[in-house]
Structure 1
Amino acid sequence: MAEATDSTFGAAGAASSLQSPSLFGLGAEAEAATAYEVKFLLTEEQVAEIVSRVTGKLALDSFADPALGNAYITTSVYTDTPNFDVFYRTEGYDRDKFRVRRYGLTGPVFVERKTKNGDKVRKHRVRISATEVPDLAAPVLNGEWAGEWFHSQLLQKQLRPVCRVAYERVAYLGTADGGTVRLTFDRNIRGVLAGEWKLEAVGPVPALVDRVVAEFKFRTAMPALFKGIVADLGLTPTPVSKYRTFVHAAGLAPAKTANATACG
């Protein structure tokens, strides 16, 4: 059946014992259970410079695949209501995203809730079997499943699959200024419509973003390592939501004049 909450994607590798700074247990206090996630849109030249600066300081994620240039494929099923309340940030839907995510083509699968307030982020996830993903469509479960909390939220909020988004991620993990940090680079972000609970690969469709999406993740305060990179390269944070980008590109949700500015 399902395993306990997982945060490392494997036992091998120098960073396998560290936990991503944005991951917290389900019962963690909201104020204490926050990390920061700052995103940037970068050129390949900027990425190369950043990688040169973190090499030897941060370790590649243990799920890295040398055949993919140390990347691994990440595939997520994003959810929303029939009225796209998550997309429109309707009250009660404005901070949480519920998704199912797989690392690698045949790697571990997680049900996840991501709560975001500005740059502050906290995530809770539980690993499940890939064969259990279709069970999320069931109207009732037996109450003994580790993903029951996720299924309960789907029913309560009337969430259903909307799209499947995939990309190649290169990730680094380590410690800086005494805290755990994570640095990720996402390329070839692509998506397809998905009305069912399936984690099939996303085929060769046009990319949604023409640059590399980088995320700097840390607890409490941005470490000097990241501050130096941001200052020296003159980087400007750029909010990027893979789900929202897909909805816009697919024309799934018409603009609402009442909150068109908020929807971005």
Structure 2
Amino acid sequence: MGETLSAKMLQKYFNRFELKYTISIPERDNVISNIIPFMELDPHIKKGYNNYEVRSIYFDSPLKRAYYEKIFGIKARVKLRIRYYPNFQVGDKELVFIELKRKMNENVSKSRVLVPFEDAFDIIDSHTPKAKKFYETASKEDKQSLNDVWYLYNRYNLKPVCLVWYQRSPYISKIEKGRFRITFDTNVRVRNYNFDLHTGGTGGNYVVPPQLSIMEIKFTSFIPAWAVHIIQRNNVIQEKMSKFASGLETVKILSLF
């Protein structure tokens, strides 16, 4: 039996800013020790753990439209993915999110639909009977999200191109609850074959070396002064890094050898 998803995990719509930093494990540990007086681990993490695993299947067009939009620095971008949190479920049902992630510079908005694990690849394709049946009973908001997903999926003939997974340690502010969080992603790996999410945690290749961690600062309106001070004190440098694009580059480079 998996853990019950928290209200935050079940949130279907996000609009916030995101800044990324690639740091060493010692730097990560130092930052965590600095933020502990102001932040705490997300409450939905399994008791006795300090992280959870995230697995995402990314989709792209045959001409790799989403990838090249990132590489060429297109300001307004959108990506489609299926996101899965192992060992988390609602009741006895195993669920995944079908997500659209839109980005305008550092501003990120997400809309997502919670669907049964075993039906995700059917529901993401509007032409299947399961997709049509799911749509019939979906909420107004979910129908709008599905319409957006299906438009993108059909317009660009999207197909799964890579599976990215990692361990995430998420911290939330004790003061700016729901408005400020920092996550640390480690052991970021990728593969471009076998898109079975149940076996996502094995094999693959590292997107960034295992001795590095991706720190993401996420906020709705501003970074608290105490956080700015900690970032400056640790001399971390912002980096425009995409796990999706870097993952595709990793498997592309490896395929040349």
TM-score bracket, normalised by the shorter chain, equals: 0.7 to 0.9
- Report deviation, 1:138: 5.6
Give distance in 1, aligned partners of 2:20 and 2:8: 25
Contact 2:113 2:146 in 1 (8 A): no
Distance 1:54 1:158, change over 3 A: same
Contact 1:186 1:212 in 2 (8 A): yes
- Report deviation, 1:78: 0.1
Greater share of strand residues, 1 or 2? Answer: 2
Letter in 2 for 1:99: R
| Identical counterparts, % of pairs | 24
In the TM superposition, what are the counterparts of 1:225-264 in structure 2 within 5 Å?
A: 225-251=226-252
Unmatched segments (≥5 aa) in structure 1: 1-8, 25-33, 255-264
- Report deviation, 1:122: 1.3
Contact 2:57 2:160 in 1 (8 A): yes
Question: Is 1:189 the counterpart of 2:188 in the alignment?
Answer: yes
Give distance in 2, aligned partners of 1:79 and 1:178: 32
Question: Is 1:50 the counterpart of 2:31 in the alignment?
Answer: yes
Cα RMSD of the aligned pairs, angstroms, is 3.0
Q: 109, 115, 124: which is aligned to 2:111? A: 124
Letter in 2 for 1:199: L
- Report deviation, 1:244: 0.6
Matched residue, 1:148: 146
Distance 1:138 1:120, change over 3 A: closer
Matched residue, 2:46: 65
Matched residue, 2:127: 139
Matched residue, 2:92: none
Matched residue, 1:101: 83
- Report deviation, 1:54: 2.1
Give distance in 1, aligned partners of 2:159 and 2:26: 39
Unmatched segments (≥5 aa) in structure 2: 90-94
- Report deviation, 1:131: 1.9
- Report deviation, 1:245: 0.7
Give distance in 1, aligned partners of 2:36 and 2:51: 15
SS at match of 2:118: helix
Distance 1:178 1:205, change over 3 A: closer
Distance 1:207 1:242, change over 3 A: same
SS at match of 1:236: coil
Question: Is 1:75 the counterpart of 2:52 in the alignment?
Answer: no
Give distance in 1, aligned partners of 2:56 and 2:25: 24
SS at match of 1:200: helix
Letter in 2 for 1:185: F
Letter in 1 for 2:239: T
Letter in 1 for 2:127: P
Question: Is 1:216 the counterpart of 2:217 in the alignment?
Answer: yes
Letter in 1 for 2:96: V
Letter in 1 for 2:100: R
- Report deviation, 1:226: 1.9
TM-score calculated relative to the size of structure 2: 0.77
- Report deviation, 1:251: 1.3
TM-score calculated relative to the size of structure 1: 0.76
Give a deviation string over 1:128-177, Cα, whole Å, max 9, x none. Answer: 11122131346343242446332343123321111111100010123546
Question: Is 1:86 the counterpart of 2:63 in the alignment?
Answer: no
